[in-house]
Amino acid sequence: MSEQIYSADLVAKHNAARKAVLERDYASLGERLDRRGIAIDAIRGKVEKFAVAIPSWGVGTGGTRFARFPGAGEPRDIFDKIEDCAVISQLTQATPTVSLHIPWDKADPDRLKQAASRFGLGFDAMNSNTFSDAKDQKLSYKFGSLSHADAGTRRQAVEHNLECIEIGRTLGSRALTVWIGDGSNFPGQVNFAKAFERYLDAMREIYAGLPDDWRLFTEHKMYEPAFYSTVVQDWGTNYIIAKELGDKAFCLVDLGHHAPNVNIEMIVSRLIQFGKLGGFHFNDSKYGDDDLDAGSIDPYRLFLVFNELVDAELSGAKGFHPAHMLDQSHNVTDPIESLMLSAVEVQRAYVQALLVDRKALEGFQEANDALMATQTLKAAYRTDVEPILAMARLSTGGAIDPVAAYREAGYRAKVAAERPAVASGGGGIV
Ligand SMILES: [Mn+2]
């Protein structure tokens, strides 16, 4: 059995003080759902199986173009990061895997495996990095990586991705996520077609190195760091890439990588319909790639995305098994608290989407009853599903209130004493 970062007694004490109230709330919600023909325990069972991965870089404080304000007890290396991820996993029981970023998290694979399995954690998708220059790197990515005009730089970027696959194989990962910063800042700087052709050729080499049971995720992003054009700018280009590469290639949707007001749930539907939805980087945004906490700005949009996912799940869409991961930058909160609440927000959207009366919705759609169709979604979204989420945590060994339990344990103060501040924890958000 795996070790727990907090003693079971501490979590049990936390839960004992809240259990009676939760049971009453759960019974009351159960009664109301029963009137809608929904069995609450079945919904809870689905939540218990729902998982979202934590990105290793998320447990450190992020930063902006202007400054980074480190927090107390920041992880100094990947082993500290794994311990922070273990806290999130133990208290939420929603985040069983960690997504590594190479080269930031490079370490002896056996040690990495041991550190994770100690807490029962596994490894999610590997993330390559050709959007910044690693220490002692021969050729610079200042003017691009996989689409670079220079063949030697492209080769170096391909080899880096192949190395990420190799590391991932030893760790038990089954996917590689590729996001590049390639693009241009000025009209005329880059020939769009030539750059994309070079990118595709490079990606074909990476794809050829993919084990049979792996998936390759490509992530589109409209702008930043390039501000005039990016090589993989939108879901259309991303879809072309996945089609060109083959059956193991899929599109990854980072919610923040779109223009404001873009209908992301519709993009999700299209990608599902044509078998190319790979997964998500969950976060939220108000203006651009803000990397704010999932569900913190527009929880209804998150719900509408999950409405599409549940629709696909229930209709048995072919090859549908999207990877869920958070991808956020925490500048003013404790990253562990933000990640715990974000994981819960993602679960919440999933549960609310499970409550949609799909038969009624279909009827209203067929009858062109726009008002009742949209009210059907709203009825599910307005349901306070917190008792289901809390009961799922309680029954799987988590905490009824993860943030309260985390604060009660004084974890941050403890690691602040153990971890001297470091100059740089390897930031950067993709
Ligand atoms: Mn991302």
Q: Which of 340-354, 358-372, 373-387, 410-424 has the lowest mean pLDDT?
A: 410-424
35 by Cβ neighbours in 10 Å (0-12 / 13-18 / 19+) ranks as exposed
- Ligand 1 center–CA 142 separation, angstroms: 20
Q: How far is the CA of 55 from the centre of ligand 1 (A)?
A: 10
Considering the domain boundaries, does residue 280 fall inside one?
Answer: yes
pLDDT number for residue 425:
47
Using alpha carbons, select from 73, 56, 59 the residue that is nearest to residue 422. 73
User: How many structural domains is the chain composed of?
Assistant: 1
Å from CA of 417 to ligand 1 middle: 32
Question: Each residue of 301-337: pLDDT tens digit?
Answer: 999 999 999 999 999 998 899 999 999 999 999 999 9
Q: How many whole angstroms separate alpha carbon 152 and alpha carbon 22?
A: 60
Q: Which residues contact 94 (CB under 8 A, 6 or more apart)?
A: 50, 51, 52, 343, 344, 346, 347, 393, 398
Mean pLDDT of 117-126: 98
- Ligand 1 centroid to Cα of residue 177, in Å, is 9
pTM beyond 0.85: the answer is yes
CA nearest neighbour of 285 among 224, 218, 347, 242? 224
Distance 15 CA to ligand 1 centre (A): 34
Per-residue pLDDT tens over the stretch 231-277: 999 999 999 999 999 999 999 999 999 999 999 999 999 999 999 99
Which residue in 229, 168, 167 sits closest to 199, CA to CA? 229
Q: Is residue 285 part of a domain?
A: yes
Query: For position 293, which CATH number holds?
Result: 3.20.20.150
Answer yes or no: is 414 within a domain.
no
Task: Please determine, for residue 427, whether its predicted confidence score (pLDDT) is greater than 70.
Answer: no
The CA 32 to ligand 1 mean position distance, Å, reads 38
Number of Cβ atoms within 10 Å of the Cβ of 411: 20
Give pLDDT, residue 306. 98
pLDDT tens digits for 54-66?
A: 999 999 999 998 9
**pLDDT computed for residue 422 by the predictor:** 63
Pairing of strands 126-127, 183-184: unpaired
152 C-alpha to ligand 1 centroid (Å): 27
Going from the Cα of 271 to the center of ligand 1, the distance in angstroms, rounded, reads: 17
Distance in Å, CA 219 to ligand 1 centroid: 7
Q: What is the pLDDT of residue 1?
A: 64
pLDDT digits (tens, 9 = 90+) for 185-235: 999 999 999 999 999 999 999 999 999 999 999 999 999 999 999 999 999
- Is 50 exceeded by the pLDDT of residue 383? yes
What pLDDT, on a 0 to 100 scale, did the predictor assign at position 2?
84
Measured at the CA of 266, the angle between CA 201 and CA 268, to 5 degrees, comes to: 50
d(CA 168, CA 100): 9
343 CA to centre of ligand 1 in angstroms: 15
Expressed as residue numbers, the domain containing 122 is 51-353
Identify which of 193, 198, 245, 194 has the alpha carbon closest to the alpha carbon of residue 217: 245
Bridge partners (DSSP) listed for residue 215:
175
3-state secondary structure of 123: strand
Cα–Cα distance for residue pair 165/168, rounded to 1 Å:
5
Q: Is residue 399 part of a domain?
A: no
42-55 burial string, b = 16+ CB within 10 Å, else e?
ebbebbbebbbbbb
Q: Please list the residues that pair with 411 across neighbouring strands.
A: none
Is residue 361 situated within a structural domain?
no
Query: Is residue 165 packed enough to be buried (19+ CB in 10 Å), middle (13-18) or exposed (0-12)?
Result: buried
**Ligand 1 centroid vs 429 CA: distance in angstroms?**
7
220 CA from centroid of ligand 1 (Å): 9
* Pairwise CA distance, residues 53 & 35, whole Å: 35
Checking if the pLDDT of 428 tops 60, the result is: no
Q: Is residue 74 part of a domain?
A: yes
Segment 125-173, tens digit of pLDDT: 999 999 999 999 999 999 999 999 999 999 999 999 999 999 999 999 9
Angle at 298 between CA 297 and CA 302, to 5 degrees: 130
Q: What is the mean pLDDT of the chain?
A: 96
In a domain, 421, yes or no: no
Confidence of residue 4 (pLDDT cuts 50, 70, 90): very high
Does position 68 have pLDDT exceeding 90, yes or no?
A: yes
Residues in CB range of 325: below 8 A, 6 or more apart: 52, 53, 54, 55, 99, 124, 125, 279, 280, 281, 282
Q: Is residue 406 part of a domain?
A: no
- For 200, list phi and psi in degrees, rounded to 5: -60, -40
pLDDT at 421: 74
| Residue 3: how many other CB atoms lie within 10 Å | 10
Residue 368 has pLDDT above 80, yes or no: yes
CB 325 within 8 A of CB 124: yes
- For the chain, how many helices (H) and strands (E)? 16, 11
